[in-house]
Structure 1
Amino acid sequence: MELDDTFAAQASNILQIGKELIGQAEVFLATLLRPWNFYQILIAIGLLALAHILRAVLAPRLHAWMRTREGWPRWRMRYLVVVHKRLRAIFFVVLIWTVVLIMREVTWPSRSYLLGIVANLATAWLIVAFGTRLIANPILRSVVRYGAWVWITLRILGLTEESENLLDTIALHIGDMRISMLLVLQALLSLGVLIFVARLVNRTATARIEGNDEISPSMRVLMVKVMQITLYGIAFFVAMRAVGVDLTGLAVLSGAIGVGLGFGLQKVVSNLVSGVIILLDKSIKPGDVISLGETFGWINSLGARYVSITTRDGKEYLIPNEDLITGQVVNWSHSNDFVRLDIFFGTAYGNNPHDVRRIAIAAAASVQRVLPDKPPVCHIVGFGDSSVDYILRFWIRDPTGGLTNIRGNVYLALWDAFAENGIDIPFPQREVRLLGNERGLTE
């Protein structure tokens, strides 16, 4: 019974406010029928048509000029694109303010009153359109843009108080909390503006952090992630407090949800914690060359849940952070970029081992990526059944360029050098004898 009375009271208030708005709208429409007001409407329509003609003439020329600006920064080209799209509105604002200023000088202010309202509306809408272009998220940009347009329109027309009363009448009670449509719209608008500010600050700070060579790559990633979470969290809580939302119940609810998520999303939480550990201990960082099991490649990016690894064949593997913490990872460039590679080969017993070692070292040193300041070495490692076995060791400092290809190039250099100097590479040979008496063979 009490709930029915509440809804009845809300419906009565909505009808009363609606009647007031309709009455004001009727008065406003009646004023439009006056001669000078009607002339002002015709002037505004004519100026809009003139702005459309100017855009049709000048827009192609501006577009052709923009195509010649290839060396300009990206952000400047984006603003030029926005200007190109809003040329009609820009021309209309310039034209209508020119007409309003002239009419205020040569005639009574009342005869340019409607034109002044239209000029203020057009200018405010244009400013909002340019300002919201800085918001990257399309959904958030649309919410902020249309919300600002509606609020500015009501403000200029003097309907703010009635509209606020109407929106505040539409409310829902949850316990002691009252959530009205006005509160929801204010929260969305405040959140959109604060997220825009947080994104702008985050973008500026991220550029400074990533441009600081004194900070390690892993610490840059960690600082950027922590800053993003902090800024967006502050934006959310400030927006909620600004519109009067009590966050005490939200804290209790979030604690209960956190406990449930801790049990249900153990792997996700484990990966998140492992990601933070990786960033703190600097065991791997973007650009490092690592191998994990059968996966060999360089780290493309460090994420909150996984690490992106790009292999030589162009495949991108997303390795969970937990695997990098609990598994054995070979980081080829952890402390430095130097990598030593080993090649095994064998030569015939008839070749002088001293000559073989000298020729092998010279062949490896002739390959382009082999480091001359860490010269190759060659050692005998054993006497095999059909060959003298050697190991050839050499250093490179660019593992991102690949390991298999440099081994192949060294093998080719050895082949050419051995062929040129008469070094034989033996291969196993087997002789098969059939034993038996002469009678058994003939049978």
Structure 2
Amino acid sequence: MTDAWTDRKRRSIMNLCVHCREGMSFLSSREDSDSAHTGDYIFEYVDKCIEDIGEDKVVQVVTDNALNNMAAKRLLKVKSPNVFWTSCAAHTMNLMLEGIGKQSKFKKTIDSAKELTIFIYGHHQTLSMIRTYTDNIEIVRPGVTRFAKVLRIVDGDRPSMPWLYGKLKEAKEDIKSALNGVEGNYKPLLDIIELKGKGRLDNELHITTYFLNPFYFAKNRAGIGGAFEVMEAIQKCVEMFFPGDEILQGNVINGELQIYKNLEASFRAKFANCYEEINANSWFSFDPVGWWSNYGGSAKNLQRMAIRILSLTTSSSGCERNWSSFAMVHTKNRNRLTTEKLNDLVYVQFNSKLFYKKKTNDILEVSDYNKAQHMMVDGVQDVESNVDEEIDPITGATHMEVGNVVQLREPCEEEEFVSEPEDIDENNDAECRWDED
């Protein structure tokens, strides 16, 4: 996954990260201030990465939906037709929410709330009075809604490909239910979701992963396995995973796929088809990759394909969290760093966390949303804790923390990079800066 940003010296920097089931790592960055971010330029950068890693080890490239990225996608399709290029799900879902917010029935309320918030947070006496009457509870808070839980899923580092398609379907049903099944109320919202998600969140990779996730397939074998669009998507994926070998493709589609659909051979094991157990477990406690590793032995090729695509992310937002590492290294006192030195320092700092990574779950279950109406939290903590915040009055609680509560979009968790003090250029009448060396 790749994205671009601008540092303190207004240099344009493009970074490239790699995601796998074990986590995300920073690969490289480069300054491109003197180059236009055209499709050719992005393609050349991504293609070089694919060559370095090995095309056989790369399943997909994830970027946002900008036109230059889509142009790079077309070029990669010609050079590497067996590598998927998928749109960032977090960016796409933000577009969905933005489109919903622009509807007249919501826009007036949202604009009024923004104006009121800007006024209150722009006057310290007014803000102090508000906090007095609200017991220091802020009026700007991220709300835990059933739909925004889907955004939370795709915006994390956990492999989200197994859940995106199914959770988006559930969110649509939740919207219908919340609006009492009145078509005139829910149809405009679903139309926006369908329009923004078309070709972005419903490609053959998303649909195939939905089919190969036993959490969903076990609940609706006939409905999922018999759908035309599902089987069409699976055939395209099989062709891309096993290119040029029509015999192997036929064995997977006509043989191994049928074994899975009918739950035969190793899939008939005691726990493999235990629907009650799958239904009893919450989605985030179920491991589809582990399931395929345990029970997919009678369909070796399909097992290999399933494990690889069930381990994928759906978002490039990890690149944005990587910017926090850049910001920590490239501070006001270290802004003479060359881009080469900056790349090396970020490489060490960001990737070192893989050695100490703790596997924690940062997703709230839908059933728990009533317990966390005040905040979006890692676990259900004491939501009445004291608030420490640095609040953007327009976008909300981007920098808000409550006790052990994390931000809605977290920065890197490492402590700020502290450099050894060096000689200061006292002749600089502007701010003092550390020299690169």
TM-score, normalised to structure 1, is 0.20
> Higher helix share goes to which structure?
1
When Rg is computed on C-alpha atoms for both structures, the one with the higher figure is 1
Relative contact order: is structure 1 or structure 2 higher (C-alpha 8 Å, sep ≥ 6)? 2
> Higher strand share goes to which structure?
1
